[in-house]
Chain A
Amino acid sequence: MPETMPAPLPVVSRLRSLSRAAAVLAILGGLLVLAGRALDVAILTNLFPGFTPMKANPAPLSVLAGASLWLLLANHPQSTARRIARGFAFVIVVVGLLTLCEYVFGWDLGFDQLLFRDPQALPGEPPGRMAPVTTVPFACLGLALLVLHEERPHALWAQSLALMATLLGLVPLVGHVFSAQPLYKIGPYMPIAVLPSFLIVMLGLGTLCAMPDRGLMTPLTSDSAGGTLGRRLLLPVASVPLLLGFLVFLGENLGLYDEPVSWAILVVACVVVLTAAVLESAWTLHGVDLRRQRAERERERLLASLQEQARESQVQDEDLQAQQTAMRESEERYRSLFTAMTEGFALHEIIYDDLGEPCDYRFLAINPAFERLTGMKREDVVGKTHNEVLPGNDPYWVNAYGAVVLSGEPAEFENYSPALQKHYRVLAYRPAPRQIAVIVVDITERKQAEAERERLLGEVQRRAVELDVANKEIEAFSYSVSHDLRAPLRGIDGFSQALLEDHADKLDEVGRGYLQLVRSESQRMAQLIDALLALSRITRAGLHWARVDLSALAREVAADLQKAEPERLVEFTITPGLVANGDGRLLQVVLENLIGNAWKFTGKQASARVEFGEVRAQGMPAYFVRDNGAGFDMAYAGKLFGAFQRLHSQSEFAGTGIGLASVQRIIHRHGGRIWAEGQAGMGATFYFTLQMATEVAGGGKAATTKQGIRPFRVGT
């Protein structure tokens, strides 16, 4: 805390007043003496008859000193007053010192009787010259007034000089009081009169008190304990001995007691009075100090509580700062989220019409992603309303946002914005009354993809319907073929039979042979029709997946063949335990055809052999039917599996040419493939695989329409 100037105590102004009074008195005293000289009134120069009369020169010096002191006290800011005061002081110093020099060096500078003649001068005395004892204190006073200034060394010097002048005036004054001549008359020189002594003391005290809060006087006027003590003790200590001494001296002069008694009385009185003064001061100081201590404790307590408060407020400050930091960080986080998020974010204020229905909304804030998604610029839209920015846009948005604001329930919706030509998914919620915050994602691409998907789905469905229609047509066609192609054949055969039975006598052998040919051909055509229908059914029928024991099927087929032609000797070798996933009925058709072919084409072999087994082909099982029959030329392998393709003449081996085509169709529908190896006259081997995935995936049903699992096909 910066030290502030304490308010001047009342004592300061009182001492100043005292100083001013002293100056006035000195002026008056001096003027009085001058008047006495001028009018030759003795009482005015020596006060009492018999007293040493006052010389003329101290009177104007006293007036000058008084005036100088008055001017300095007046504290005129005008430097003129100060300069005049300093001028007076200088004159005093010069007069004092020159008079002293006259005594010391035996000069007569002739200014002693400048003002008045001195007829009363004693013989041997320089007439009109003031006493040597008077010169020094006046010189001191003059110097003091010359240097009297508020600044510290100056005040100190002035007051020291004034104190010296006071003491030098006091000593002859006391000497006069107690008729102690040595005190006011030094050596052969003339004594100092009472009045100048008094004036000197007064001027000295006045100068001392001129600046009561500076220099030597500082403690006396301060608020400190020292000041209090000084003020209390100074007056009694200075005045009591003087007063008592005078009283005791008076009593002795009146013959009340003799000298030793007077000394004793004086000492006792001094001891008593001074002790009382000291005690009184001690009590006072004690009280003051107790108050001071209390005040000190109070101050410390207050200080402590102040510090406590300061600490608390510091803690609060820190808390506040931490909160502010947290808030700032949180704000920064949200701001960075706001600017960095890929979803568009916008804050709107809903605008209501006169009926309180939401009719528009105003853009309050949008983030960069929102700008990117909508193509709108922040500076173009913020502060404007939806209807201003996007006139003619679908009112859906305003209605949807208004509904969210009215209900307070968050909502999520997707809609097309005709104005922006984009689809958006919007999550909307109400962060504050009348406000709506929306998070926007551009789903235009997704919507387009969905539309494309819908279109493709529609296309697929259309194709499926077309396919269904086509299948129905094929079915109707097959039905028609089954009925209408067979009916005439029945007629041809039936009437041929009727001819043969009822009119055989009208025909010769050749004619009857022709009729037999007609019948057999019509029956073969019926077989062809049946085979075609079977092939068509295979294509259309659904697959019924199950575990199928191929070995068992092969054994049944072989047994049936053997039963049909028991006279044939064919050696069957069937590997047991071959199980596969597939449609049992269709796989039976496969084995009937393949083994049936083997049976048929080994018909001309002396020792026919037919084998059914399993090999590995490209990491999956391939089943085969091998025979040692007629075989085929590999050059025609590509024609094996075509419908109505035959590599042998009807007369050589009967057949419809449909069998292998049906087999291939069945194998393909199982996701497998079929191929053949052979050599004319050296037998043939037919291999087939079934659904690749079922074997690779370790069994189980798999999609039957899978593409790309037919690495190799024969006959397509």
Chain B
Amino acid sequence: METKTKTGIGNPISRLEGNLKVMGKAKYSSEFSFENLAFAQGIQSTIASGRITAIDTSEAEKQEGVLKIITYQNALELKGYNGRFESPSTKGISPSLQTPEVHFYGEYIGVVVAETFEQARYAANLIKVTYAEDQHQTNFEEHLDSTYKPDKANGNPADTSWGDLEAGLNQAAAKIDVTYNTPIEHHHPMELHNIIAVWEGDNVTAYASTQMVENAVTTIAETFQMPKENVRVITPYVGGGFGSKLQLREHATLGIMAAKMVDCPVQLTVTRHEMFTAIGFRQHNRQRMRLGADQDGNLTAVGHDTTSHTSFTEEFQETCGLMTRMLYKTPNSLVTHRLMKLNLPSPRWMRAPGEAPGSFALESAMDELAHELGMDPAELRIQNDTQVDPSNDKPFSSRQLVECIRIGAKKFDWKNKWNPKPGHTQKDNWMVGYGMSASSRAAPYLKSSAEVTLKRDGDAVTAVLKTDATDIGTGTYTILGQTVAETLNLDIKDVQVELGDSKFPVSPGSGGSWGAASFANGTREACINAINNLKTLASTDEDLTVAELMKQAELNELTATGTAAPTEEFDDYSVYSFGANFCEVWVDKDTGMVRLEHFVNVASAGKILNPKTAYGQIIGGITWGVGQALTEHSEVEPNHGNFITRSFADYHVPVNLDLGKIDVVFVPEEDYIANPMGVKGIGELGITSIAAAIGNAVFNATGRRVRDLPITPQKVITTPVTA
């Protein structure tokens, strides 16, 4: 459609809600006010395995302002796990305080409710818990012989194979067999997880920071065994999620329970320290990579074996081998996933679950193989490109990986800069290195609904769009406003977007890189329905403006809803986004400190709804990749089984100085198999293979191949030079 507006899709407009955010007026879930609001403070276990034998609350109860102390001894009865060992779901139950059993250090074992925040915090420190402690299993190395094959790895088959891996390796001219480790990492969105729970009779309203509104309603209803109609969830602004707010977790249960038990609104905020154990995390993945190639660089064998850990209550494993199954063509492939149970919290989805750690192994291994072959690593990727997904023989709906690599190489000046000999360039005390990687990430598309209301005042028409989708920083407000402006041919000034309320039409929520595509198509459907309704009411087939149509139909207001959903055709294809990364790093030759100088990312991710916010997603992903590559890791204390990295002072997420210049090139792509608007996700593509590109550049600078992330000064100086 020819647009008259300059603010429709594809334009780099500033965020619609941006004014509120820069003025401090956007309201996050902890910022709603209520009379008689009480404050709750959670209490976490301080052993890794065992059971509570006694709880002394007497001192705490005596304190000024304390309203209630809740433990397993007096908690409301909830739907519990009943010993089931199942995979977590984004709408799964979140029971808490149902038994005296302790499964990991930092499990919620109680909650204190008081009139003020200070009183609740203080009283929580006065509660004395006695435990019968069991020998805990928290050491990954010690339990490697207890691994088993899970039924599924995050919904995907644990094992896949075709051809004969050993045979493929035997016929290879060059091969590698190496093992990589990625550590425990935490999401740590800047907004602390939080809930304000407000009961009115049998109805509860939860102001809760969540990525998925409808699923949060289900979690509350199921956990408390109440009708979904009695639950309302509100989350207009979400201060980051990255997967940690997909499922409403136990803290929300505690807040809702506390509000019920003290009969007033209750706010519960998860402290930064508690967030290390209360909201999921990315587990330690050990990945063995076996690659073989003939002299021309054609892959003859690809093997990827992942070993990681889950908890004793739930089974979760990232599909680290997901990308290995589909990125390159090979006649022989074996991809496996194995798990052990540890007394650590249940891992969960974290930005690009599977791809983020998996791509580090695959794309580092490809670099090692290129080195063995004496081949340009960019050429090795191009050599093994495929337009058919080797894991299922389906064609890709679109795949411009080669284009991404070549465009990126040119932008970066790869051919002139890259030199296979480590130590090729030195500047003062810095050794300069270049690295690259290829990336892919599934582009799912899910059923999503929206409602649009048009109001006319003379010749002027404004539109309000409502859906229960969330904006977790991804730009949902803006791209949906642009979709409305585009489809209804209105100026963005005349469009309102309202999100994050379970009263609004159901969306799949923010997660899995399906948000933009699903929400935008749902919004478009609602707008198309509005136009069609208006045409019917105006008795015309003409392509008039909505103002003209409303005038002709003598309407001042019209509301229409719409739902978009994938067609059957979608399942006939493999639908992915693709990308390429090139980077320059400087490594201090003595102390091993690594500095990121320049990054070039090329992304082929369908229709870019707004390049300004899409660029934000990519640089955000790269920042995450920098953290994964250089700074982030949690360490388990060997004797007590807790995370010894317990604050932002010990767990280092990247700061501003950790970043360097980043250039992003979007490759135009029209993929209407993906969905009618041709939109694909970009938020998780952005982190994929970043750590590999950085690690490859560190090797290129120093000749040291650090296979265990993060690449800290300690590891750089203790890793031998091998090239």
**Chain B associates with chain A:** no
